[in-house]
Amino acid sequence: MAPKKRQARSVARLAAVQALYQMEVSGAGAEIVVREFSDHRFDGDIEGQPLAEADEAFFGEIVRGVVGDQATIDKAIARRLAQGWRLERIDATLRAIFRAATFELSRRSDVPVEVVIDEYVEIAKSFFDGPEAGFVNGALDAIARDERA
């Protein structure tokens, strides 16, 4: 995959995590949030610096896919949480990361497992300074074994 396309997918993954988080805290539906990102967030800038281009189709696929299959995705995540932990107890940002990554692991067999895990671990690092990235790495590795066995 060309570097520019890889970067566009990385941006799409980060935006998908942000969109899923936004949907959870605001109660907004997938189509409203996807449209908001397309109309107002992509092709924007931060402090005068243009944002990197996003693969908007890939972004939409992740967001809509998570929403459309959330019960199955949540079960796949819950199977790999430590005993006694429920998905609802996890930070909303981590839930969004797990859901987006699990969607890719279960529905996008064309994307290598290592890419999915690496990308979402990096996203976790962008939100958290503590052990969360290691938690994401371990859980996604186990989820990948389940989903891609």
The whole-number pLDDT of residue 30 equals: 94
| Tens of each residue's pLDDT in the chain, 149 residues | 777 888 999 999 999 999 999 999 999 999 999 999 888 777 665 556 566 788 999 999 999 999 999 999 999 999 998 776 788 889 999 999 999 999 999 999 999 999 999 999 999 999 999 999 999 999 999 999 999 87
The helix or strand, by DSSP H or E, that contains position 45, with its residue range, turns out to be strand 45-46
**Model-level pTM greater than 0.85?**
yes
